[in-house]
Structures are given as structure tokens and as C-alpha cells.
Amino acid sequence: MNILKNNTKYHLWNPFTNLEEFIPYKDVGPMTLVRGEGAYVYNAAGKKFINASGSLWNVAVGHGRQELAEIAYEQMKTLCYSSCFQQTHPKAVELADKLCGLTGNVYDKVYLGCNGSEAVETAVKITRQYFRQSDDHTLHGKYKIISFKGAYHGVSYGAMSLCGDDLNEKLYSPLPEGILHINPPHYYHNAYNTNNPEECERKCAESLRRLIEKEGPETVAAFIAEPVMGEIGILPISNGFFDMVTEICKEYNMLVIADEVTTGFGRTGSLFASENWKVRPDIMCLGKGISSGYLPVSAVMVKSSVYKNFIGKEYFQHGSTSSGNPVCSAVAMGNIDIILRERLTENSAEIGAYLLDGLKEMMKERNIIGDVRGKGLMIGIELVKDRETKEPYKNSEVFNIVADCASQGLIAYYNKNIIALFPPLIIDRKIADDILTVLSSSLKTGKAESIKKKMRLFSEFASSKKMTAIDKK
């Protein structure tokens, strides 16, 4: 079966994809998914996979929800599009109200966007304008933003700069000025010379204070972080750390921004991870699970204490055509209703703990697992050659493991030597057990195992070659 229609050529420039490697292996059928239902996705050959990566960490309510399709259909017929520039419409207003309500109205203003990068970019601009328009003139020089080196905040220039990624610097510099980094409290990698999580976080908070002092507090505007860092390899950070940081930021008149693009909407077992901090962040960025990928939606939640600097001053010079799109807003509301109605946050906490326990148990038999960590249904498995030296598995070796998982019907996310699980929040213990069974098999090492894996891949290759090859013409 050819997934491309007659005369269709492959012109797609896939994001974050090495096309030169990807296209040659099109003969085996690159992961070409054509259908989804619940926690499962299916390729062109009809093979069923557990979607343990939650697609791109975003499909919270699972695939194929008819009620969301119906909401989109009805809204498209009623009002497919209307701008929110100098005018408004019910769906954007209702979504903003719903989002504020979910936070107990701690937040008062909501900017709607289309993706996480846009949410972070918007938060950066709000922060800078907030200080520039302060009634207190001594705050006008604040523009620097501190983030964790190795964080992931998105791809647009502002968001990308916050990631502190050397490759971005090499390829895309000059990056915007005034972005500073500290090392995250990665206890497993002995950040701050300790593998004790509490001590590591305390030292990290101290290093934040030192950086602010060194740069000059009159120039530093905000600190931004993911409550559980994703791309770096799933690093949960304690509420206590954020309480310390919030105190420091208050002392230096800085804003705290939580990037909850990944952690929001139940992913970590709380509706929002930062709801467990003593003081909620001034700004919270949301995306991914807000619409489960049915349509592109993101949001920036802002406290009235921040918005006050926009009243009677220059209004926010920001917005794009699709901000608050009515169909996207309606679908996001439908998606949030499902998360609440089906108690998916609670399910995420329960099944996440079950999976984490299962993986910790698996560590006893699979030496290749150096560390397992996570919160709710956001779990990382770090693969090492040696638990003492923590020598990492190579990217290509981890790719082989993930490919073996796929040949056994499990799609897992990986980055460097970390396999990450972000399944839809609807999964039950049976699916969690299936995930554990496949992982346990794919993480087995040794000669016999590697022969088995090769045979599994070979039979996959043979069947997919027949059925899913993309036309080379």
C-alpha cells in the first residue's frame, strides 16, 4: 500500500528531522500514522501502537473523540473565524473565563495563541513591557530574563534564546539580548556537585541569587522555568525550590513565569503543577494538553498585578491572525471539559505512580536503566552503560531500542539517552502493564536479545516494505 496518492512527491520539510536519513529509510516506512483511537495509533499497514509519547506530549484525552469533532463542525458552521483585534466573540471570551476559573481566578487576563512557542514569546514581551511602563521609574531598566540552561521553551527567537542551547547559538545567532542562564538542579548529574536533590536545589537557588546580584538587580526582570523539565530528560523540580525562587524574585522585584506548556492540564497529576507552589507564578504559559492537539491552541495567564501596568499606558503591541480563533477556542473548551469530567488529572496521578513503580522495579533486572524519574504521566528513563560512571547510551543505540519498542507496538519518545513516556491521560493499568512489558523486553541486553531484536526489526522491515513504502518517483 502506498500512502501517497498518484503523482504526489515528498516535498514536506519535516520539523526537527534529518531529511537525509529520514527519506532513505522511507523504504521501511518511516513512522507513518494514518489513524488514532483512544490511546492507540495505527500506521498505513494497519499496525496498532500504544501512543506512549502522547504524540508530541499533547494528546491528553486520546484520539478520535467524536464530541470534539462535532464541536468543531458546529462552530465552523456558526462562525469559522472572527478576529479578537479591537473586537471579540463568545468562544474566546468563554475560554478565557474558563481558564481563569480553573485557577480559582488567581489569573485575570488571558492571551490566546496557537502554540507553546507563541505563549512563551508573548510572556517575554509582556514582562518587558510590564517593567518599561511601571509607575516606578527605577524599574524601567529591567529586561533580563533568567532561565535554565538546557530547558525547552520553543522555537521562535525569544523562546529559543531561553533554552540556552549551544547549537541554536551556533546556527541562529545573534539571539536576542538579555537572556541569562543558570544550571538546573539536576541531582542525577551532580549539578552543583551534589546528588542530593534538596542540597542541589538549595545551591541552585543560591546561584540564581548570585547571578541577579552580579548582573545588577535593576536590570533583571524575570525567572522562567518548566515545573518538570521535559526535553532535558524529565527532571521534576520540587515545589520547595519554586517557593525559594519566588521569595528571591519578590526580593529583587522580578516576575516568576511558569512554562506549563507540557505540565499543564493534568500531565503531572495536578491540573497545573504550579498550583502546588505557595505563591502562584505571575505569568503561566499553557499549550499542548489545552486542546490535546485537536486544533492548535495556547494561552498565557496573567495576574492583575501584572496587567495593571498596561492600564492607561501603551496597550500590548502583540497579536496574530489566529489569536483566539473561535473554532480552536470551542474545541479547547470541549477538551478541558473531558479532562475534568473523566477525572483525567487524578488518573494521571494514579497510573503515573503505578508506571513509575513498575519502572523502578524493572531497574532491578535491567542494569541499562540508570535512573527513572517523573511526576504523573511524564516519566523519563535514563539509559547508561554503567551505573557508577553514568556513561550515557549513544543516541543511535537508543534509537535502536525505541525502534524495537515500535516493532513491538509501542511508540515512545526519546532524546539522547532518555526514553520518555507521555501517554494520553486516559490510559488504564492494563495499558500501563503493556507499556512495561514492551519496555522490559526492549531494554533487555545481551547477545541473544540483540539477535531477537534484529529478527523483530527484520520482520517489521519485510512487512512494511511491502505495505508502506513511499513512492520514490
Ligand X SMILES: Cc1ncc(COP(=O)(O)O)c(C=O)c1O
Residue nearer to ligand X on the CB measure, 16 or 448: 16
Residue nearer to ligand X on the CB measure, 212 or 286: 286
Q: Does 117 bind ligand X (CB under 6 A)?
A: yes
* Segment interacting with ligand X (CB under 6 A) among 73-81, 211-219, 233-241, 257-265: 257-265
**Are 180 and 222 spatial neighbours (Cβ–Cβ below 8 Å)?**
no
Residue nearer to ligand X on the CB measure, 55 or 262: 262
Contact residues for 145 (Cβ-Cβ < 8 A; gap 6+): 124, 127, 162, 178, 179, 180, 220, 221, 222, 223, 224, 257
Q: Does 186 bind ligand X (CB under 6 A)?
A: no
**Number of residues near ligand X (by CB under 6 A):** 13
DSSP, collapsed to helix, strand or coil, labels residue 37 as strand
Smallest gap from Cβ 140 to ligand X, in A, equals 28
Q: How many angstroms from the chain centroid is the CA of residue 454?
A: 32
Half-sphere exposure of 280 (CA within 13 A, CB side): 21
Interaction with ligand X in 216-255: which residues (CB under 6 A)? 226, 230
Q: What is the C-alpha to C-alpha distance for residues 423 and 168, in angstroms, rounded to an integer?
A: 29
Smallest gap from Cβ 64 to ligand X, in A, equals 22
Helical packing angle, 239-251 and 197-215, nearest 10° = 20
- φ and ψ of 225, to 5 deg: -155, 160
CA distances, 465 to each of 10, 35, 239 (Å): 17, 19, 49
**Residue from 142, 153, 303, 375 that binds ligand X (CB under 6 A)?**
153
Q: What is the C-alpha to C-alpha distance for residues 345 and 270, in angstroms, rounded to an integer?
A: 6
Smallest gap from Cβ 225 to ligand X, in A, equals 9
Q: What is the C-alpha to C-alpha distance for residues 59 and 338, in angstroms, rounded to an integer?
A: 12
Residue nearer to ligand X on the CB measure, 286 or 426: 286
Q: Does 116 bind ligand X (CB under 6 A)?
A: yes
Q: Does 259 bind ligand X (CB under 6 A)?
A: yes
Interaction with ligand X in 12-71: which residues (CB under 6 A)? none
Contact residues for 360 (Cβ-Cβ < 8 A; gap 6+): 372
* Segment interacting with ligand X (CB under 6 A) among 43-51, 63-71, 115-123, 274-282: 115-123
Q: Does 375 bind ligand X (CB under 6 A)?
A: no
Q: What is the C-alpha to C-alpha distance for residues 283 and 438, in angstroms, rounded to an integer?
A: 40
Q: What is the C-alpha to C-alpha distance for residues 237 and 446, in angstroms, rounded to an integer?
A: 35
Q: Does 281 bind ligand X (CB under 6 A)?
A: no
**Residue from 115, 347, 408, 468 that binds ligand X (CB under 6 A)?**
115
Q: Does 121 bind ligand X (CB under 6 A)?
A: no
Q: Could you tell me whether strands 40-43 and 33-37 are parallel, antiparallel, or unpaired per DSSP bridges?
A: antiparallel
Q: What is the C-alpha to C-alpha distance for residues 157 and 432, in angstroms, rounded to an integer?
A: 38
Q: Does 262 bind ligand X (CB under 6 A)?
A: yes
**Residue from 112, 120, 332, 470 that binds ligand X (CB under 6 A)?**
120
Q: What is the C-alpha to C-alpha distance for residues 218 and 262, in angstroms, rounded to an integer?
A: 31
Q: What is the C-alpha to C-alpha distance for residues 439 and 409, in angstroms, rounded to an integer?
A: 11
Smallest gap from Cβ 287 to ligand X, in A, equals 5
Q: Write the binding mask 65 to 104 for ligand X: x where contact by CB under 6 A, - elsewhere.
A: ----------------------------------------
Residue nearer to ligand X on the CB measure, 422 or 453: 422
Provide the grid cell at 449.
536479545
Residue nearer to ligand X on the CB measure, 44 or 223: 223
**Residue from 62, 185, 287, 374 that binds ligand X (CB under 6 A)?**
287
**Residue from 245, 261, 271, 290 that binds ligand X (CB under 6 A)?**
261
Q: Does 309 bind ligand X (CB under 6 A)?
A: no
**Are 348 and 169 spatial neighbours (Cβ–Cβ below 8 Å)?**
no
Residue nearer to ligand X on the CB measure, 116 or 424: 116
Chain position whose Cβ is nearest to ligand X: 116
Residue nearer to ligand X on the CB measure, 116 or 392: 116
Q: What is the C-alpha to C-alpha distance for residues 296 and 304, in angstroms, rounded to an integer?
A: 26
Contact residues for 143 (Cβ-Cβ < 8 A; gap 6+): 128, 131, 132, 178, 219, 221
Smallest gap from Cβ 274 to ligand X, in A, equals 12
Q: Does 161 bind ligand X (CB under 6 A)?
A: no
Q: Does 152 bind ligand X (CB under 6 A)?
A: yes
| Farthest CA pair distance, the chain | 72
Residue nearer to ligand X on the CB measure, 220 or 224: 224
Smallest gap from Cβ 134 to ligand X, in A, equals 27
Smallest gap from Cβ 148 to ligand X, in A, equals 11
Chain residues binding ligand X by CB under 6 A are 115-117, 120, 152-154, 226, 230, 259, 261-262, 287
